[in-house]
Amino acid sequence: MSLDLLVVLVAVVWGAVTGALLPRAAYRFSAPSGEAWRDRCPRDHAVPGWLGRARCGQCPAGQAPYGPRAVPLAAVTALVCAALAAATGTRPEVAVWLLLAPVGVLLAVVDLRVRRLPDPLTLPLAGAALVLLGLTALVPEHAGEWTTALLGALALGGGYGVLFLINPAGMGFGDVKLALGAGAVLGWYGWATVMLGTFAGFLLGALYGGALVVARRAGRKTAIPFGPFLIAGAFLGVLAGAYAA
């Protein structure tokens, strides 16, 4: 078995295991803006901890589900991790991508559910990305540049900040904070990757919004959760950057 294939297999297992642990966190973080994180199931039983399946053993039906299912989240996270590992190979930054990927999936799920990007996830994601990439830059055979990662975080975060100031109704401040982390991971592979990932995110968001309008499920001014498309764009940009590195 080649080392590259082994890395992909490890990534699949890692993604499946971590993805299966996300449902409870997704449920707890899926509280409308301004409300505290959920700590009770729909029948008002306490929700213990943050990781694991979103099922309540105290409900009359027994083990009643109250949040996202574990299997779809495990499958999506495994696919994301496998793609990142296949693109990156054995280079040391693959460990960074695998550590950050489950957080990205969790953020996308929460934003889709309640149009909210929690600060306890977005800000640590940006900080962790820069710290981990900084450590990776000290390891031989890495294929990126930490300085560009830092500048990419500042540039993308600043750009989204300007968009937020221009049109607060169309861009949430959570997107600005998320853009810091996205800019860091894209910047690792250079400015071309930053531009590609940014463009991909806006293109995917525009296509989704256009599809909703065509299907008459939304109007031209209907706000949509942009976090999942920002994350998807960053994912595609990192894949392209890793393959080209």
Q: What is the pLDDT along the chain (245 residues), one digit of tens a residue?
A: 688 899 999 999 999 999 999 999 999 999 988 888 998 888 888 888 899 888 877 776 555 667 788 999 999 999 999 999 999 999 999 999 999 999 999 999 999 999 999 999 999 999 999 999 999 999 999 999 999 999 999 999 999 999 999 888 778 889 999 999 999 999 999 999 999 999 999 999 889 888 877 777 766 666 788 999 999 999 999 999 999 98
Report residue 108 as tokens: 């996308």
Distance, in Å, from the CA atom of 241 to the CA atom of 42, rounded to the nearest integer, reads 43
Look up the domain containing 97 and give its range. 3-244
Q: Decide if 174 contacts 202 (C-beta within 8 A).
A: no
CA triple 159-227-154, angle to 5 deg: 30
For residue 232, the surrounding DSSP H or E stretch is helix 227-244
d(CA 29, CA 69): 15
Task: Provide the pLDDT for residue 15.
Answer: 98
Q: Which amino acid is at 133?
A: L
The gap from C-alpha 136 to its chain's centroid, in whole angstroms, comes to 20
Query: Of 154, 4, 165, 173, nearest to 82 (Cα)?
Result: 4
Q: How far apart are CA 87 and CA 160, in angstroms?
A: 28
Cβ atoms 100, 238 nearer than 8 A: no
CB 220 within 8 A of CB 213: yes
Q: How many helices and strands in the chain, by DSSP H and E?
A: 9, 2
**Number of domains the chain is built from:** 1
The first and second tokens of residue 151, run together, are 């500048």
State which H helix or E strand residue 64 sits in: strand 64-65
